Amino acid sequence: MEQSRFLELHGQRMCLTDVGSGPPILFVHGLMSSRRTWSDQAARLAADHRVLAPDLFGHGESAKPLGDYSLGAHAASLRDLLDAVELDAVCVVGHSLGGGVAMQLAYLFPERVERLVLVSSGGLGRELNPVLRAATLPGSEFVLPVLASGWVRGIGDSALRVWSRTGLPAVSPSTTEAWRALATLADGDTRRAFLATSRSVIDAGGQTVSARNRLSGLTCRDVLLIWGAGDRMIPAAHVEAARAELPHSRVEILPRSGHFPHLDEPDRFAAVLADFARTPEVAVGRSAGDPIAPAVRPA
């Protein structure tokens, strides 16, 4: 059962799932998402780990104040969170935007990150799905309320129900989660925070913030890269950018996954993560010159 609580950080409330005991793992969700995207993984890992999964400011049930929503601001909030729960260092797992936040945390506060897991991470290349690029354009603040409105969501929900009855391949959890996330933008405060966050890292051409020139400077040498082979938000080819800077990182491409591999292939994802978390030393993956294969090692 999910165990959530609120912490106050600098006068703002942050909602946090905090379960289990043992070596700590900090999960960081992506844009338009929340801590709940990690619920299944938290339940699986809580027997052997203390699992922390916050709603970043501007997301979920955490506060959505006016202010700074840059990667650095989110990283500083996570540092403050670790102080509040009295943890010195953790294994950090970041998905999508959360991957960028996780890298920023490791770069700014290296003593707080023992191991780093990047899941379909942002910050490793310019390419990005056109829908997210369009969401940052001038005037999108007037379009997003319409797209997130009840009647549009009703049409989409009906289409998904019809699709499920046709006998065609089921809609993937990645697609369902992306559709669910759109509904959160019906709330004005959430929409304002989304625009502030997305415009700090995205423009009409794609991602504007790159961590590639900083990866080689990370003091954390245990790094795992997980990607869905069918990711339509951030292409799996971005793994190569990270691997060029971190040749000893472990790489796992999940062949039946999209942008949310922890939802599309939860069993395999959990097995890969648990294996990485308990390995006492750097897990060396393929060398930088090898091509990416659909599966690196069995889960």
> What residues are annotated to the active site?
96, 231, 259
- All residues at 6 or more sequence positions from 108 whose CB lies less than 8 Å from its CB, including other chains: 72, 75, 76, 79
Considering just the CA atoms, what is the radius of gyration of the chain in Å?
Answer: 18
- Are 37 and 54 in contact by the 8 Å Cβ rule? The answer is no
Angle between helix axes 150-164 and 173-183 (nearest 10 degrees) is: 160
Q: Which of 199, 262, 198, 250 lies closest to 222 in space, CA to CA?
A: 250
∠ CA 23-28-30, rounded to 5°:
160
SS3 track for 104-134: HHHHHCHHHEEEEEEECCCCCCCCCCHHHHH
Strand, coil or helix: what is 54? Answer: strand
Spatial separation of the C-alpha atoms in residues 242 and 187, rounded to whole Å? 35
The label of the residue with tokens 């998402």 reads 33
Neighbouring CB atoms inside 10 A of 71's CB total 24
Structure tokens at 127: 């390419």
**DSSP assigned state of 228:** E
Residue count of the chain, please give it.
Answer: 299
The set of residues, in sequence order, having a beta carbon less than 8 Å from that of 90 and lying 6+ positions away, is 24, 25, 26, 52, 82, 112, 113, 114
